[in-house]
Amino acid sequence: MWGLGPGILAAIGSFLCLNYFFLPPYFTFNIARPQDLLALIIFLVIAIVISQLLGQDKQSIASAQAREREATQLYEVSTALTGLLDEAAIAQILAKKICEAFVGDEIELWVDGIPGSTTHICAGEPRLASTRPDLVFPLATARGPLGTMHLWRKGKPFTESEKRLLSTFTGQGALALERAQLVENESRSRAIEESDRLKSALLSSVSHELRTPLATIKASISSLRSETSDLGEEPRRELLAAIEEETDHLNQLVGNLLDMSRIETGSLDPQRKWNALREIATGVVERMRQVLQRHRINLDIPPDFPLLPMDYVLIEQVFSNLLSNSAKYAPPGTEITIRVRLHPDQTALVQVINQGPPVAEENLERIFDKFYRVTAAEKITGTGLGLSICKGIVEAHGGQIWAENAPGQFIFNFTLPLTWHGSLPQIPTEV
């Protein structure tokens, strides 16, 4: 209870009490002496003034508290929006914070122009949004409009201070949206830059890699065709073998490039069927006998290992790339092991283990990057695409791939899911 009315009332009441109890003649409202009358009037004025001052003080405390509440809410909004880069999430947080500020009110709001944003209802039934909104705030920054916020409230209209609060909220929201868009634009332009860099790396790698076999083929053929040179039978056979090997090499290169571009554009679409890892692995080893002739191959695959949903040709490609990588880096005469086990997390774990040199821990992930090479490019042939293709294929199958160093060994690991759409293969029983 404070303000002008109660203040004057209290002042008059205490004035009358003073007069009645303490001024002679006692217990009457009469006043005998004129100076008492003056004192009473001064008392009344002071009481009124003090009550006024107190009232104003209280009012300013209340408005200070209201401002503090607003400031807290604003602080909460801006903290909640910090670091958010998803536009729909920003709209969601904004809506949630407005609901918290107007707790108990039936408010509906909708942020327009943001991908994936929906109507948000603080309390009550969803029925207001079909009518005209009570308030519309543009979500705009200096860079232009980013969206609009529509608000409905049941019962009472928004007051001026509430509008002010909402406008500050939407201001914060607009800033967050702008930040999100800036970050997205930046990462997009960085991706374009990266892809340009990759393209030129690809071109230089490809032209180098294509020309090397072409040089061999050209030299061999022109020598074979030359009428002046008189080659023996053995050199002729050598040259012809070189031509065939180099054409195979070229074919593999082109295949790698195709696979890579398919992975890059996301059009790698595994034709999953139930397949046996053992069948794929043994087939690859058989086919790659030439490449693997200087290494001992050890297959450690349980014969009764479950069938997995895989694209036969793509997984064959993974094995072939991992094996040819192993054959390239592991010293001749050492053993390369293909080991398959059930992983505790209900996937199949495939390991290709060679006795090659370790790779520095910080580079273990990078070897699956395009064009990344541990050793100088001149020493080892290849496009630097093999392992990144493996990664693309394994990930398209829902698996993971990684490499690790072990004492005396270098291990490629990859996992593949055991189930397909949540189910295992159905094997018919013999009737």
Applying CB under 8 A, the residues found at the interface with another protein are 244, 247, 251, 255, 258, 271, 273-276, 278-279, 282-283, 286, 299, 307, 311-313, 316, 425-428, 430-431
Nearest approach in angstroms of CB 428 to another protein is: 6
Q: Which is nearer to another protein, 274 or 329 (CB)?
A: 274
Strand, helix or coil for residue 33: coil
Q: Which is nearer to another protein, 155 or 428 (CB)?
A: 428
Question: How deeply is 224 buried, as exposed, middle or buried, from its count of CB atoms within 10 A (0-12, 13-18, 19+)?
Answer: middle
| Residue 25 preceded by cis peptide, ω within 30 | yes
CA dist 87 and 74 (Å) reads 19
Q: Which is nearer to another protein, 312 or 329 (CB)?
A: 312
Nearest approach in angstroms of CB 197 to another protein is: 27
Q: Which is nearer to another protein, 177 or 257 (CB)?
A: 257
Q: Where are the alpha helices (DSSP H) in 265-421?
A: 277-287, 312-329, 386-396
Nearest approach in angstroms of CB 283 to another protein is: 6
Strand, helix or coil for residue 144: strand
Question: How deeply is 34 buried, as exposed, middle or buried, from its count of CB atoms within 10 A (0-12, 13-18, 19+)?
Answer: exposed
Nearest approach in angstroms of CB 132 to another protein is: 55
Q: Which is nearer to another protein, 3 or 425 (CB)?
A: 425
Nearest approach in angstroms of CB 423 to another protein is: 11
Nearest approach in angstroms of CB 210 to another protein is: 15
Compute the 3-state secondary structure of the chain and give helix, strand, coil in percent, each to the nearest 5.
55, 15, 30
Q: Which is nearer to another protein, 87 or 259 (CB)?
A: 259
Within 13 Å of residue 405, how many CA atoms lie on the same side as its CB? 12
The angle, 0 to 180 degrees and rounded to 10, between the axes of the packed helices 386-396 and 233-264 is: 40
